[in-house]
Structure 1
């Protein structure tokens, strides 16, 4: 624990008058319950709905402000509000609002200058007290890290669990969430019905059907009762007074840990995870404030840099600094005693290494994995802070991909977690609703200690059905989601909507049967049926569209959700035949982490294949961010390459690959031809679109996609005697590299299926890109510069690199027989 020095305590006492108001507001507001209102409405009557809703909200926040003003004799925080709707029209950035839309009308009502109501503090709550921001579609992520008192979501264009979960996390205690849904969409959406079903019997949550009310607005009375403010007993004179301004002991310990990163040994990063509303951003600000105040007399300039996916995400951080005496805050930069704190965009931090004492990375799960890796390699005093619920951007890739890398690379990595809410009260009903209905806290059940390991094929049982079939078994449903979360960094709340609402999606559940002795020893299990859930697969059936619709897709006029495979083949691989076949796309596959590497995943794929064959499906498909481990899994299951995406996924930093496994002769010949075409066209892309693709992975894909099986027939490799002679002379140094490039190119492009084990072993090494074979492929096929390869290979210079290339050529020739 870092002890505070006397000067800081004196500063805090001198600063007390300034910090009292925001500090009191924080503690007062977090004791007030958050309100959740779900209004079922149609597309008409927006004017009346907006007028009456504005009136109720206006009165609620006025009473709330009055109550706080009576206790503190100070003005409370403005009513920061965010309005979100899933309208395609608002995708046009030039359009900021929609005419006659309920959100636009509500915004006008709340901001109306002619509406003024005296408050008990002698002030006025009017349009100037509201700070409203209208956002749409994926812009909800821009609000992560901010604090709002009002959230209104118009979900009549579509139910988006990701947006509701993310934006609700910005609402502080005493705040209000209003979700407007369409009656018809509710009737058609099982996921929405499931969500609304959780509102019942919660005192601070209310669901109203406006369409069933009469013209006298019968819904207004219960809404008014729900939004009649009743102050929870508060005593601002007995607030906790932790020495560093922390709200609770756990936050104070985190602050001390952050300070230790700045003042202790290098390369010992800290990772702070927390659910929404736990005060992680506040902890970053408090630590920054304390560290600089502790070094206020230092002659050395101290610089703290904070970054995040968006500048808006750090608004709370700088607001805390602004509330402190002696700090000069100008936008996203601050100074104290000559020392500096500033926000910097990710791209700038990566391209221009900064000389800073501490780098804070907020909302880290919203940052692409490659950028996180770059930061961890360039900076030596790092704190990563984030939630990890899947809707942040990089999803759960932060915990599944980046965190294991960080701990392996820097053994001194420290993990910290904040559990107690800061923005709202413990046992908050809105948080409970979101966690329960979106399974945000689903966790894997521990395997029974008596379970037989390894699991044999004879113990496995399979169950196929739709997501709605699981609604009657909440425990099993929770385990399904937990398995998916454990295996896939892209799993997010909106996956629940896909599982429950898409009639073409089928769940395959893989169970291990317990023996009689195991059943007697283990009274409870994950299903209640004497079976253990060990694997899950999501199978989405695609194809079978009408010819006229296919023609519009081909011309780029339509994009049909739920038919990724044929649409991708048609528009990106020029496969005119794509919609002549049906596909079972494997959207997700997961095996219990404690049971992996036993072949259960391959057996689950085999069961999926049999299920598809029984339903006359022509083939299976899958698409994923490709790396050597995942590619090997799907290749071993008999899948072929169909296409490789040019751009890298923003979350994983990996190129997306589409693979097929044909189940009928017709599709089998088409898939083979498609893979041949991909391999023939590949050289034209390797030095440009695929220049950053790992060379070790490219070697695996070249080998796997070859039509040739036999190593021993030189003619099949397109390597003649002249080519072999050039290669030998390159090895012995009698020919310069440049004169041998054509022969080297042929050698690498002739990788055959029997080379697969050789190149896979290279890719499985700790640093496969440093292997001579990877350097050779990167130089010859991807045209990577000598400077970059010297750095990548960790060699002393060009001469040493050349020797590595020669060694790789010799090894490959000895591996292959001519």
Structure 2
């Protein structure tokens, strides 16, 4: 059979079942790209319905570089061609696959399958980090890709000759390794939508739905018309949850509501806004209002209605502040946002969460397990909706199943009952090599499930790293063979003098995040010479958290590696809980970023735990530098960081009781008099703020007095971050500025009472007697 005839048959087979088919064109790159063009022509598809993802330029189809494959998310194509020879990544594979419509073809242009384990150079470049070479990169992921292509239904594999065109213009015969054809007839059609007359939404909102499942979701989202309601819509990709959210947003705005939409990026919400605009047009409402003039509005002008409603977008950190007091908040791709940011949205009058259960940017597992507990404990009436019917292809689409298996998109942690009785005393510590997880699919899926549930940024590229990266070590605590806590460690540092010099000049050295920051940003020219392990991920099963398993795993890792490296390190979005965890395990902060992560809204903290003399020198000097500079930053670049984060990071600066230098404060005699004047007399903070700045820094690093958390927050916001009294009083819940100032005077008295006679106690006693007399 020639190529044209085969593709026509494959396309007809896909359309008959309303499913997708994967066509793997294997051979050299030139022959593969030529064959892909022929496939498009044979399939009878218009050029506008085709996307080509490749590093090359000069094609008539819509073309994207693999680095921009995420632009296909939320779009639909009849054929997507992915030139895998250059620029291939697991993330891009997931993104391009999701764009193919039912009856369409995903065309992969690949090397011969037997050569793939030594090809796909982009995967090698992705994980070959100094000081390791490309030869050190493993092949397990590439072997996994070959295996799933050869054995999964719906995959056609063609072996191409060097050229598919014969000299006489006819097409050469091709070798069909697999035909990918299915004998199934048409998949079960989706149910028809119908209106729900018992909801406040108009019939047009339901008529715009494509399945009964989607109409049911819109009806459920109508609960957001009333305050104190929360709605959760969960689905795999391709079920129409974003469209349902858009239809609901339009119906709400048409009724006069101010609807605030947020998502990891404005692109993720494109489908929501498109469907909302369509429905507003059907309802005879204008599709756009006047420009707000606010640069924070990513969709400007927002969608507006004659009833006074609107639909606007804000990035997650901004949306969490509920700007302009919206009536309703809708969160799309909620599973890709951290739980602590989602919690801030629970102050909205009504809120809807749309979440992908098994997605390309991570899984909804963390949302389902961790955030749902917070939501259930809130004052909202919660409505749960699960969408099962695919909209763009049949229920049993083999390409969806192939992708989920290849990239472990449906990986789950062990079942709760299997690990429920686990304690640190009942587990075994185990090294998990790439061979171990490649050869044991159940173990691999359990490990990935734990990592996905614990971290909102886990992505398909992490599967490649687990199976191929030479700088990673995977350790786990197992309970009866089931992983309950896993740690992924990345070896960093140990760079040559030349590499250190390049890093100091600002050139990023791949795979060396901590040394890069210490060298290029914090200007330490020798920081990258020492060797350490950065804890990239640590995850504990949700059913056994707060039992000390994470700390137990870290302790075993420290014991195993401390003699062979100089330090352990970690970088994470700073929260009080995480700062406390890492401090308890011997880590101390050396950096707090001055900007917030756009998705999480958090400032990143870097912490080190020394293991050797060189590591101790590194940690000591950076702890000292951190303490010296943060005092100035608190009133400037990090003046908006939450006071509890500042409390946590300063308390962790010193983890050694012998480290007296970090928490010392030695005011002059006059300063003690100023302190006593505020505590017992007519003195004011404004007369000598430097006195309180010294005391606040010393106390927060190592407690000087017995202060409550609220009192320490007052020190942070007023003394260190220099917020106005009115702002501090409002944020900390004081009824007035006067009450707030009285509380500050009480703090001054507690400081005075804690000072011994050798420091300034005698001076304070003298001053106090003056006022009392």
TM > 0.5 between the two? yes
TM superposition score normalised by structure 1:
0.75
SS at match of 1:750: helix
Matched, 1:568 2:517: yes
SS at match of 2:590: strand
SS at match of 1:416: strand
SS at match of 2:620: helix
In the TM superposition, what is the alpha-carbon distance from 1:816 to its structure 2 partner?
6.5
- CA 1:204/1:402 → structure 2, altered by over 3 Å: closer, same or farther? same
Instruction: Choose the corresponding residue for 2:230, options 269, 287, 307.
Output: 269
Q: Counterparts in 2 of 1:450-599, with a 5 A limit? A: 452=421, 454-456=423-425, 459-512=426-479, 530-556=480-506, 558-599=507-548
Q: Counterparts in 2 of 1:90-489, with a 5 A limit? A: 101=56, 104-105=57-58, 107-108=59-60, 110=61, 132=62, 134=64, 136-137=66-67, 139-181=68-110, 183=116, 184-186=118-120, 189-208=139-158, 210=160, 222=176, 233=186, 240=192, 242-243=194-195, 244-245=206-207, 246-262=209-225, 264=226, 266-287=227-248, 301=256, 308=263, 309-310=265-266, 313-315=269-271, 318-319=274-275, 322=278, 327=284, 330=287, 338-339=306-307, 343-346=311-314, 353=323, 358-365=328-335, 376-377=346-347, 379-389=348-358, 391-392=360-361, 405-448=374-417, 452=421, 454-456=423-425, 459-489=426-456
Aligned to 1:785: 724
- CA 1:778/1:511 → structure 2, altered by over 3 Å: closer, same or farther? same
SS at match of 2:229: coil
- CA 1:179/1:506 → structure 2, altered by over 3 Å: closer, same or farther? same
SS at match of 1:437: helix
In the TM superposition, what is the alpha-carbon distance from 1:777 to its structure 2 partner?
1.6
- CA 1:816/1:413 → structure 2, altered by over 3 Å: closer, same or farther? farther
Q: Which runs of 5+ in 2 are unaligned?
A: 1-13, 125-138, 196-205, 289-298, 760-773
In the TM superposition, what is the alpha-carbon distance from 1:35 to its structure 2 partner?
1.7
In the TM superposition, what is the alpha-carbon distance from 1:780 to its structure 2 partner?
1.0
CA contact (8 A) 1:779 1:785 kept: yes
Partner Cα distance (1:234, 1:534) in 2: 39
Query: Mean alpha-carbon deviation: is it higher for 423-432 or for 301-310?
Result: 301-310
CA contact (8 A) 1:541 1:582 kept: yes
- CA deviation map 1:780-803 (0-9, x unaligned): 111123332222112233212212
Q: Which runs of 5+ in 1 are unaligned?
A: 1-27, 66-77, 88-100, 111-131, 513-529, 763-770
SS at match of 1:717: coil
Instruction: Choose the corresponding residue for 1:804, options 743, 750, 756.
Output: 743
Instruction: Choose the corresponding residue for 1:794, options 711, 729, 733.
Output: 733
Partner Cα distance (2:337, 2:473) in 1: 32
In the TM superposition, what is the alpha-carbon distance from 1:754 to its structure 2 partner?
4.8
- CA 1:239/1:421 → structure 2, altered by over 3 Å: closer, same or farther? closer
Q: Counterparts in 2 of 1:604-623, with a 5 A limit? A: 604-613=553-562, 616-623=564-571
Partner Cα distance (2:34, 2:378) in 1: 58
- CA 1:154/1:310 → structure 2, altered by over 3 Å: closer, same or farther? farther
Partner Cα distance (1:695, 1:335) in 2: 36
In the TM superposition, what is the alpha-carbon distance from 1:625 to its structure 2 partner?
1.1
In the TM superposition, what is the alpha-carbon distance from 1:214 to its structure 2 partner?
8.1
Partner Cα distance (1:722, 1:625) in 2: 41
In the TM superposition, what is the alpha-carbon distance from 1:619 to its structure 2 partner?
1.7
Partner Cα distance (2:365, 2:278) in 1: 33
Partner Cα distance (2:415, 2:581) in 1: 26
Partner Cα distance (2:529, 2:660) in 1: 39
Aligned to 1:523: none
Query: Mean alpha-carbon deviation: is it higher for 211-220 or for 572-581?
Result: 211-220
- CA 1:694/1:303 → structure 2, altered by over 3 Å: closer, same or farther? closer
CA contact (8 A) 1:585 1:620 kept: yes
In the TM superposition, what is the alpha-carbon distance from 1:479 to its structure 2 partner?
0.8
